[in-house]
Amino acid sequence: MWDRLLTDCHVLTMVPTPGDPLGVVRNAAIGIHEGRIVRVGRRTELAGTRAAEVVPLGGAFVTPGLIDCHTHLVFGGTRAAEHAMRRAGATYEEIAAAGGGIASTVRATAAASVTELLDQSRARLHALIRGGVTTVEIKSGYGLDPASELRLLNIVRTLARSEPVRIVPTLLALHALPQGADRAAFVERMIEDLLPTVARLGLATSVDAFCEGIAFTHAETERLFEAAAAHGLPVRLHAEQLSNSNGAALAARHQALSADHLEHLDEAGAAAMAAAGTVAVLLPGAFYTLRETKRPPVDLLRRHKVRIAVASDCNPGTSPCLVPQLAMNMACTLFGLTPEEAIAGMTVNAAHALGLAGEVGTLQPGKAADLAVWRIAEPQELGYWLGLMPERRIFRGQDQ
């Protein structure tokens, strides 16, 4: 006998069939046992099955729990004042050059106690959870020295052990150069001291960098990636956000799980990503907040059959986004994704971006029973509303 049988629902399995990118099963039922999906099918096919609890969902739509595959959720303070400066005309790069930007969050993060950081970060995490997230990637990156980055990754670990959500921790080793720091010495310390410690303590499952004119060069990123490989850690990269620096091709050369942002991606970069299976993670919240005008080349990604994921990029500077469904809406409205692509972007393709496609992202037997239940009449509504919340969220088979 199964633990639970969800009935009277329509299921987006996210296993495409010809003509149906969402793999919809209408009038469906889902069997759950010991936190896993055991069966998804037409309600009539599952009629003879027995479960300890039968949960009628009143005709709701069920999706895989949302997967937010790119966040910088752990930080101190806010950047609301800079938001106001930007509205008055200052650019992100100008504010960064004047000691604001990432540096101001680094100061606020250093000034906050572990308890304060945990409380602030937990509140943001709870917002994403309420929005239907069951798996979330969280990057370090507001420490900028080995001890501070380890402090942040330990906070991520505490959250992972205490909150009803699957957390995927990433070491964002090269995010920004601290003010006044010696460049070569900083890069050396992050690669030769921090990275091996993180690998030894198992505090992150992938390594990230910000490859950009205002951040780190190809050569520095490449060195980090080689060291990550030596420690058995896969990589991902903030690439082509503000300019085309051929970061996507670099990421693909290192079999990166994902290349993220990509507004300035060119065809060679898209082809390289396709060949390497690197997922394109689009972050419309950052595009919106920075009021960028160059959109990521979605047609190129489609033409080269690069998997497209969508994420909140929850961070204090460029994407203070706390509602995951809003990222799907913005991916449609700002980037021209279809609603079906946006939904795949926060489920199956986000699972690929995190290397978790065997565990989450689709509703299939054997996968974790992580689900979001939506009171909508058509799946397209998931790309339509500005800030839709699920009616119910199930993590590892349990309502939360």
Q: Which is nearer to ligand DI6, 297 or 316 (CB)?
A: 316
Measured in whole angstroms, how far is the alpha carbon of residue 37 from the centre of its chain? 23
Structure tokens at 215: 């951040």
Q: Can you say whether the dihedral through the CA atoms of 23, 28, 33, 39 is positive or negative?
A: negative
The contact mask relative to ligand DI6 for 35-74 (x = CB under 6 A, - = no) is -------------------------------------x--
Query: Mapping DSSP to helix (H, G, I), strand (E, B) and coil, where does residue 117 land?
Result: helix
Q: Are 75 and 109 in contact (CB under 8 A)?
A: yes
Using CB under 6 A, which of 2, 61, 186, 210 touches ligand DI6? 210
Among 171, 286, 348, 368, binds ligand DI6 (CB under 6 A): 286
Q: Do 87 and 153 touch, CB atoms closer than 8 A?
A: no
Distance set, CA 284 to CA 51, 64, 311, 325 (Å): 42, 21, 8, 12
User: What residues from 290 to 329 belong to the interface with ligand DI6 (CB under 6 A)?
Assistant: 313, 315-318
Note whether 198 and 204 are within 8 A (CB).
yes
132 near ligand DI6, judged by CB under 6 A: no
Shortest reach from residue 263's CB to ligand DI6, in Å: 11
The one of ligand DI6, Fe ion, none whose footprint includes residue 102, by CB under 5 to 8 A per kind, is: ligand DI6
Contact 171, 153 (CB under 8 A): yes
What 8-state DSSP symbol labels residue 65? P
User: Which one of 76, 101, 247, 297 is in contact with ligand DI6 (CB under 6 A)?
Assistant: 101
* CB-nearer residue toward ligand DI6: 212 or 340: 212
Residue 170 in contact with ligand DI6, rule: CB under 6 A: no
Q: Which of 171, 177, 182 is CA-nearest to residue 224?
A: 171
User: Total number of residues binding Fe ion (CB under 5 A)?
Assistant: 1
Q: Which is nearer to ligand DI6, 63 or 318 (CB)?
A: 318
Cα–Cα dist 369/136, whole Å: 16
Nearest to ligand DI6 of 107, 151 (CB atom): 107
Is the CB of 72 or the CB of 264 nearer to ligand DI6?
72
Sign of CA dihedral 11, 12, 15, 20: positive
Least Å from the CB of residue 259 to Fe ion: 12
- Ramachandran bin of 101, using left for φ above 0, alpha for ψ from -120 to 50, beta for the remaining angles: left
Residue environment code for 307-327, b if the CB has 16+ CB neighbours within 10 A, otherwise e: bbbbbbbbbbbbbbbbbbbbb
- Map the footprint of Fe ion across residues 284-313, applying CB under 5 A: 313
Q: Is 258 in the site for ligand DI6 (CB under 6 A)?
A: no
Q: How big is the site for ligand DI6, counted in residues (CB under 6 A)?
A: 14
**Residue window 229-248: x/- pattern of binding to ligand DI6, with contact defined by CB under 6 A:** ---------x--x-------
Binding partner of residue 210 among ligand DI6, Fe ion, none, CB under 5 to 8 Å per kind? ligand DI6
Which residues contact Fe ion by CB under 5 A? 313
Which residues contact ligand DI6 by CB under 6 A? 72, 101-102, 105, 175, 210, 238, 241, 286, 313, 315-318
